[in-house]
């Protein structure tokens, strides 16, 4: 992929001494400074040599911040995670379900994001689990991979949960039971997972019930009652065409951050211009311009609390069941066939594209030793 012309780090660097003014927590402040310093001398670095005898080139690299909110630190982690998930795929249809919180809860998400987002995960799984257990809809143990996103295209706060749900579940005897066929007469594939309107009502009722139990969120009864005045959004897409589409989806959503560097079109005159998708008009591409301060403030909204897990596995896709039930189940189903992928090029020499880079020395923020600077400047 072509390197981005502009970066989030450039905006942060322009306001390095005022970043705390745009953050709600000290953890957000620390995260913004880590992103600002990523792959710069401030974090130190290392010198590597290609192990290909015909190349033997020296390369200097600056350390990354390894922060999950950083636009420059997601590529390799994402590929590693996706390839680990490929081995767990089942030859069954998968559904994409989205649980969205109404904007009336945004202020609570700012005040106590950990509590609100934990409730979102908990209630979403309760809904999928209970509808799956209901013989009317499935009558088996369901599974779910859930990924938390907190942003909209304009970087505003928009908490929602993307869920991948297999189209079926495990019976008590450990056998696979597919979701019931619904849709057009004669259709052999399930078009819907569970009734969305019913899921929406249950999701709303259980979420509000959990809010009332939260000790750190004491709100008036009028506020809780107001949450029932509108429908909550639960969206279910038609099933993926196959395992390849599931992997493609995982690649897009699992390690996604609020805004990638490639979306930034310009940084000038104290403002940031970036591209957005207008989903109200068919996903049409538009541009948006924000002052630096507002851009940083919105970006900081999506820094999750320290240690918060944003990708979670439930039911038959949880770690426990993957080690036991899922292994036996895959033996009874047709094996998943995926296209063979090229090996990851994380440590491949960018010059010869054949050798691997071997670290030969490291350095701190003071920079590389004089000897290695001279070696790097020699013709290679």
Identify the CA nearest to 170 among candidates 209, 210, 129. 129
Angle (deg, nearest 10), helices 292-300 and 26-37: 110
Tens digit of each residue's pLDDT, the chain (380 residues): 556 789 999 999 999 999 999 999 999 999 999 999 999 999 999 999 999 999 999 999 999 999 999 998 877 677 777 777 777 788 888 899 999 999 999 999 999 999 999 999 999 999 999 999 999 999 999 999 999 999 999 999 999 999 999 989 998 888 889 887 654 444 445 567 889 999 999 999 999 999 999 888 878 889 999 999 988 999 988 767 667 678 777 777 778 899 999 999 999 999 999 999 988 777 789 999 999 999 999 999 999 999 999 999 999 888 887 777 777 787 777 766 666 666 666 788 888 888 889 999 999 999 998 888 888 888 76
271-278: strand order across its sheet: 264-268, 271-278, 284-291
Long-range pairs of 219-223 with CB within 8 A, sequence gap ≥ 24:
219/108
pTM above 0.75, yes or no: yes
Angle (deg, nearest 10), helices 113-133 and 196-213: 140
Instruction: Report the pLDDT value the prediction gives residue 309, as an integer from 0 to 100.
Output: 95
Q: Can you tell me the distance from the alpha carbon of 99 to that of 81, in angstroms, rounded to the nearest whole number?
A: 23
User: 145 pairs with which residues across the strands?
Assistant: 164, 313
Q: Can you tell me the distance from the alpha carbon of 48 to that of 84, in angstroms, rounded to the nearest whole number?
A: 28
Q: Which domains does the chain have, with CATH numbers?
A: 8-69+343-377 (no CATH), 75-258+304-332 (3.40.1310)
Are the CB atoms for 363 and 43 separated by under 8 Å? no
Instruction: Report the pLDDT value the prediction gives residue 185, as an integer from 0 to 100.
Output: 42
User: 67 pairs with which residues across the strands?
Assistant: none
Which residues, 6+ apart, have CB-to-CB distance to 218 below 8 Å? none
Q: Can you tell me the distance from the alpha carbon of 107 to that of 111, in angstroms, rounded to the nearest whole number?
A: 6
Are the CB atoms for 27 and 303 separated by under 8 Å? yes
Per-residue 3-state assignment (H helix, E strand, C coil) for the chain = CCCCCCCHHHHHHHCCCCHHHHCCCHHHHHHHHHHHHCCCHHHCEEEEEECCCCCCCEEEEECCCCCCCCCCCCHHHHHHHHHHHHCCCCCCCEEEEEEECCHHHHHHHHHCHHHHHHHHHHHHHHHHHHHHHCCCCCCCECEEEEEEEEECCCCCEEEEEEEEEECEEECCCCCEEECCCCCCCCCCCCCCCCCHHHHHHHHHHHHHHHHHHCCCCCCCHHHHHHCCCCCCCEEEECCCCCHHHHHHHHHHHCCCCCCCHHHEEEEECCEEEEEEEEHHHCCEEEEEEEEHHHHHHHHHCCCCCCCCCCEEEEECCCHHHHHCHHHHHHHHCCCCCCCCCCCCCCCECCCCCCCEEEEEEEECCCCCCHHHHHHHHCCC
Identify the CA nearest to 11 among candidates 259, 277, 278. 259
Instruction: Report the pLDDT value the prediction gives residue 265, as an integer from 0 to 100.
Output: 95
Q: Can you tell me the distance from the alpha carbon of 197 to that of 203, in angstroms, rounded to the nearest whole number?
A: 10
Torsion of CA 104, 110, 111, 112, to 10 degrees: 100
């Amino acid at each position: 992929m072509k390197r981005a012309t502009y970066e989030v780090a450039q905006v942060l660097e322009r306001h390095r001494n005022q970043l705390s003014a745009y953050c709600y927590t000290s953890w957000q402040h620390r995260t913004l400074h880590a992103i600002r310093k990523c792959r710069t001398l401030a974090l130190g670095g290392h010198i590597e040599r290609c192990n290909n005898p015909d190349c033997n080139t020296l390369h200097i690299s600056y350390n990354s911040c390894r922060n999950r909110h950083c636009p420059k630190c997601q590529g390799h982690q994402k590929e590693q995670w996706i390839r680990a998930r490929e081995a767990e795929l089942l030859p069954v249809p998968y559904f994409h379900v989205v649980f969205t919180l109404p904007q009336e809860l945004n202020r609570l998400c700012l005040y106590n994001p950990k509590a609100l987002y934990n409730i979102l995960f908990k209630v979403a799984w309760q809904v999928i689990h209970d509808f799956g257990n209901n013989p009317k809809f499935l009558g088996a143990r369901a599974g779910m991979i859930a990924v938390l996103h907190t942003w909209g295209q304009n970087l505003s706060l928009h908490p929602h949960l993307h869920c991948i749900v297999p189209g079926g579940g495990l019976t008590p005897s450990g056998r696979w039971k597919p979701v019931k066929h619904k849709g057009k007469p004669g259709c052999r594939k399930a078009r819907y997972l569970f009734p969305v309107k019913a899921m929406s009502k249950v999701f709303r009722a259980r979420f509000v019930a959990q809010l009332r139990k939260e000790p750190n969120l004491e709100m008036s009864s009028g506020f809780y009652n107001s949450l029932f005045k509108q429908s909550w959004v639960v969206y279910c897409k038609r099933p993926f065409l196959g395992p390849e589409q599931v992997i493609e989806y995982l690649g897009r959503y699992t390690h996604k951050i609020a805004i990638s560097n490639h979306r930034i079109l310009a940084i000038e005159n104290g403002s940031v211009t970036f591209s957005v998708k207008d989903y109200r008009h068919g996903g049409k591409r538009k541009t948006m311009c924000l002052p630096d301060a507002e851009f940083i403030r919105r970006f900081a909204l999506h820094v999750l609390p320290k240690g918060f897990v944003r990708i979670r596995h439930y039911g038959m896709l949880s770690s426990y069941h993957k080690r036991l039930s899922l292994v036996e189940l895959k033996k009874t189903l047709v094996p998943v066939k995926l296209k063979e992928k090229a090996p990851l090029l994380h440590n491949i020499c960018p010059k010869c594209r054949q050798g691997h880079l071997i670290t030969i020395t490291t350095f701190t923020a003071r920079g590389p030793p004089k000897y290695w600077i001279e070696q790097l400047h020699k013709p290679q």
